[in-house]
Amino acid sequence: MSAAENKRSVMVGIFVLLGIIIFVIGIFTLAGQQKRFINSISLHAVFDDVAGLKPGNNVWFSGVKIGTVKEIRFAGESQVEISLNIQADVQQFVRRDARVRISSESLIGNRILEIYGGSPQAPPVQEGDVLQSENPLNTDDLMVTLQENNKNLVSITSDFKELSSKLVNGEGTVGAMLTDSTLANNFRNIVASLQQTSANTVRASRSLNQFTATLNTKDGLINELATDTSVFRQLQASVAQLQQATSSATAITNNLQEASSQLTNGNNAAGVILNDPEFANRLKATMQNLETSTEKFDQNMEALQHNFLLRGFFKRQAKEEAKQEQEQEAQP
């Protein structure tokens, strides 16, 4: 074998060795990215639409890559089951009530599977657990929404353009305010009046605050009524007495009204005396006759006392009366 052939064999061997080294490094690099040589557990999630997710895509938790998508297969009616591997050393941080959603690494980046949420009270996930899924936003629906928003924006822009042209031309109330100086002055006067009214309202509020402050002054009547129960009871008793006095006055007034009605009624003695003049004249004549009869009776009695037949009787009666008076005076 010549030296040239030996040199060529050595060069081929070197290139083969470099290729093997690069291949091994590539295998280890890919295995490291895919977490092939790291202890992991398998979890599952079911979606209605995986939105372009592929096996080998990364799994993220709290912004950290913790695994990869292992397998995607159909399950049930129009549903897709995803199997994912996560590192065993982060198993304690992922809870069974955590949720899974499909997201992107960037605006136009690769799809990823994101684990989020979970309460501290829930236990950690175990091998084969199924996590709750959240369906991704449909891009077609998003585009339809954007198109509808664009139409609305165009309509709003057209309306604003028409409105601004009317304002510039002085059409409508606002346009007239912008172009008519008289209307603008009237509007300024209205604003000034509103400001004056606001100032008056503020002053009235301050006066009312001062008045309420005086009502809350200590030792004042209102404060005593609001805070002192004894004063309130006294006032309540006074009101009750006033009500009783009012009731009594009402009863007296009713009695007086009834008595006055009886006096004006001719069916009783007092009414006859006050209202019947003929009876009053008769009553006067009767009284005069009684007075005359009394005088005549006194005269007759005096004449009897001077009569010699009855003089002894009256003397004995006088002695007995004198004796009774002396006995009464002698009594202590």
Last residue of a domain, one of 121, 155, 173: 173
Distance, C-alpha 270 to centroid of its chain: 72
Task: Tell whether 125 and 64 lie within a shared domain.
Answer: yes
Range of the domain at 52: 34-137
Residues 133 and 152 in one domain: no
- Domain membership of residue 272 (yes or no) is no
137 DSSP 8-state letter: P
- In the chain (332 residues long), the average pLDDT of successive 10-residue segments reads 70 82 76 61 89 88 90 86 90 91 77 89 92 76 78 83 70 62 74 85 82 66 63 74 81 75 62 64 74 69 60 69 75 64
pLDDT of residue 137: 65
Q: Is residue 278 part of a domain?
A: no
- The pLDDT of residue 273: 62
153 and 106 in a single domain? The answer is no
177-209: b (≥16 Cβ within 10 Å) or e:
eeeeeeeeeeeeeeeeeeeeeeeeeeeeeeeee
Last-in-domain residue among 173, 191, 225:
173
State how many domains the chain has. 2
User: What is the pLDDT, as a whole number, of residue 329?
Assistant: 73
The confidence score (pLDDT) of residue 153 equals: 86
Alpha-helical regions (H) of 86-138 = none
| pLDDT value at residue 260 | 67
pTM reported for the whole predicted model:
0.37
pLDDT of residue 45: 92
